[in-house]
Amino acid sequence: MMRVMVVHLHALSARLHFWVVDRDKGTSACLPRPLSPLSILHTDYQPDTAVPHVAQMIKPTAELLGLNSEQLDVASPLLGWVEEPGRWTPVALLRIAGDDLPRLEGGRFITLMELLQVPVTERLLMRAAYEALLGD
């Protein structure tokens, strides 16, 4: 199952916020559920089957966050492939449109300065998200 990360990028200040959810086993930036604790990020994996487009994740993610589908767009169709026990999982990036950071229920926004709250594989994905949005 595909996972997504959700970000808000302010158009003028370029301030980047990641949406995270506090769960029983820690904080996660991956939706709709966290990655396995044993996951490993790969940048060179080539799947041998068709991969669904991330646009299919816009509506369920918007519903999960309490947003309208029009408020989310695809920022990066693929941040990387994560190897989890028994499966490969693509992770993509969705961006919340608009200049104002929305007030959402069920989680919170963090900045890059707060990355230590999430597992290492997700930190690497956040780095890929930063590079996809703002460059190296």
Return the structure tokens found at 86.
Answer: 């028994």
The answer to whether 119 touches 112, Cβ cutoff 8 Å, is no
Question: Max Cα separation, the chain?
Answer: 43
pLDDT digits (tens, 9 = 90+) for 98-126: 888 899 999 999 998 898 889 999 999 99
Question: Is 136's pLDDT higher than 70?
Answer: no
Environment class of 44 (CB within 10 Å of its CB; exposed 0-12, middle 13-18, buried 19+): exposed
Which pLDDT belongs to residue 74? 97
At 22-31, the pLDDT tens digits run 988 889 999 9
**How much is the pTM?**
0.93
Helix residue ranges, H only, 41-93? 58-65
Q: Is the pLDDT of residue 42 over 80?
A: yes
What is the C-alpha to C-alpha distance for residues 23 and 44, in angstroms, rounded to an integer? 30
Determine the pLDDT at residue 106.
Answer: 92
